[in-house]
Amino acid sequence: MRHIISLLLENEAGALARVAGLFAARGYNIEALTVAPTEDPTVSRMTIVTRGDERIIEQITKQLNKLIDVIKLLDISESGHIERELMLLKVRTHNGHDREELKRLADIFRARIIDVTPRSYVVEMTGDSAKLDAFLGNLSPSQIIEVVRSGPTGILRGERGLHL
């Protein structure tokens, strides 16, 4: 089962390496990883997407809690949450028809065209992974020059949250 583990950790050199090392040492895969400073610049928020049964996820969370850099963590996939992913997509456009078709598709998916060259568009899109996959599914592989995805990040719904 897919899990999204959100954690607060010290914003210090080596903290990311210690978390990644924990996963590597135990043979657990990280499907996606995002990390950025919080409103407190000494603390970072990390979102890890991984897969495993309840026993494996319990092991992961126990081991993460033992790391000195980890302040607090929560498996947000256990509760109501909102998740989003950012995708930047460079698409080849050969002619006016291609451009109009891509603009129409971007409107349908609420994406934005953020760069235009004579032969390409760069499209920015956010949403859950299924929405991003659906957008890509409407393009032919020959149209796609490059895809960059952030991986999912998430937040709990309601007043409950992960904070200091």
29 vs 33: CA distance, rounded Å = 11
φ/ψ (deg, to 5) at 73: -145, 160
92 vs 86: CA distance, rounded Å = 20
**Span 49-99, pLDDT tens digits:** 999 999 999 999 999 999 999 999 999 998 999 999 999 999 999 888 989
Mean pLDDT (the chain, rounded) = 94
